[in-house]
Homo-oligomer: A and B are copies of this chain.
Amino acid sequence: MIKVMIPSFNFASIPHIIFSPGAITQLFDIITRFGKIVLFIIGEKSLKKSGKWSEIIKNLEINSINYYYVSVSGEPSPTLVDTIVNQYRDKKPDLVVGIGGGSVTDAGKAISAMMLKKDSIKNYLEGVGTKKHDGYKIPYIAIPTTSGTGSEATKNAVISEIGSGGFKKSLRHDNLIPNYAIIDPELIISCPPSVTAACGMDAFTQLLEAYTSNKSNPMTDSLAYGGMKYMKDAIIPACTTGSSDVSVRSSMAYGSLISGICLANAGLGIIHGLASPIGGFFEIPHGVVCGTLLAESTKMNIEKLKELGTSGKLALQKYAYVGALFDINKSFDTTKIDYYCSLLIETLERWTSDLKIDLLGKHGIEEDDIEKIVNSAGLKNNSVLLTKEDIRKIVGNRI
């Protein structure tokens, strides 16, 4: 018998998940379990354009639910959250419902968390404020319309202040995990190819980083691996011929949901350690940052793990397991670790090119910015230790 010791781990609660094409129709029944006054946070475009928003309004009226709604765009800033909270606190909403991409669902999460506080969200952001959030909030239901951040299942909301003194930091507490996550793949069909591509690369990054994280555990391992298995065949079709196919969108939505659960419980790696400063300093979509760094970072991690020899073996094998998903033989041969690792890197490079993921340079980032980015980057729970030189190389290759 090979002795396997399960590492000590905590696994936070997850939202009550409803996963189904057409699941949005269950929203109204769920709302009434929490109360009669809802504050909706929604995106600016696709929900309204698709006609889904007017359907929702009609149903709210049929069900005699009082509602307010705010449209938001871009990644939420402290000012945005504070303004909305101050504006709606006196309306005493019983719950918040966020319908949109990661920025919208994060904004909704932050607003539900700040509704019972009297001061600015800035005071509670990690690495920015001095206070710790205590988890008291009003209930929150998250409904994603992109398959990307997995915010519908995470315990944090990412808040950004863009500019030279900018930041991208989290409001975080176990209790901020949404009460319900309603995953309706039909809502995601209207997501355009470029957004689907960037979000999809973000979700896959989250799955791979959580799976190979030094804080991963058997639960996140099982789930993350399963998530990648579904996403691997769907990511290209979702951006091309299969964009209106509910089964393809379901696989993407599932991968994204699972990526949120896994990152919340296993943490992330260098790609997200770089995404924080890059997203704080420059106006560039989070999914593009992750997508553009995915293949390059994976290549570097694998290279460093190989150099480590025996002590890198277990983590290397995990990259190989993922690579083997792309092998037509559908089996795993322990003597072919190098081959599977190369297959993984090649596949991620192909995705980056097929999905036309921008270089960082396209968004105004130059060679001269590398040092600043590298100095602010964190390793998070990366599978292997990287030096500044290694990180410089990753970013440099994607300018």
Residues of A within 8 A of B (CB): 1-6, 8-21, 23, 174, 217-219, 221-223, 225-227, 230, 233, 237, 242, 245-247, 250-251, 254, 258, 330-334
CB within 8 Å for A13 and B11 given contacts A218-B230, A222-B222, A258-B219: no
Q: A19: which of B3, B6, B246 is its contact (CB, 8 Å)?
A: B6
Chain B's nearest CB lies how many Å from the CB of A209? Answer: 18
A contact face: mostly helix, strand, loop, or mixed: mixed
Interchain CB contact under 8 A, A222 and B233: no
Considering the chains assembled together, what is the distance between the CA atoms of A8 and B250 in angstroms? Answer: 10
Interchain CB contact under 8 A, B330 and A6: no
Chain B's nearest CB lies how many Å from the CB of A38? Answer: 21
Interchain CB contact under 8 A, B226 and A6: no
Residue of B nearest to A175 (CB): B16
CB within 8 Å for A10 and B19 given contacts A226-B222, A330-B334, A333-B331: yes
What are the residues of chain B within 8 A of A219 when measuring CB–CB? 17, 223, 226, 258
Q: A20: which of B9, B15, B17, B258 is its contact (CB, 8 Å)?
A: B9
What are the residues of chain B within 8 A of A258 when measuring CB–CB? 219
Interchain CB contact under 8 A, A11 and B8: no
Chain B's nearest CB lies how many Å from the CB of A48? Answer: 26
Considering the chains assembled together, what is the distance between the CA atoms of A218 and B17 in angstroms? Answer: 13
Residue of B nearest to A23 (CB): B8
Interchain CB contact under 8 A, B174 and A16: yes
What are the residues of chain B within 8 A of A18 when measuring CB–CB? 10
What are the residues of chain B within 8 A of A233 when measuring CB–CB? 1-2, 4
Interchain CB contact under 8 A, B217 and A19: yes
Residue of B nearest to A330 (CB): B332
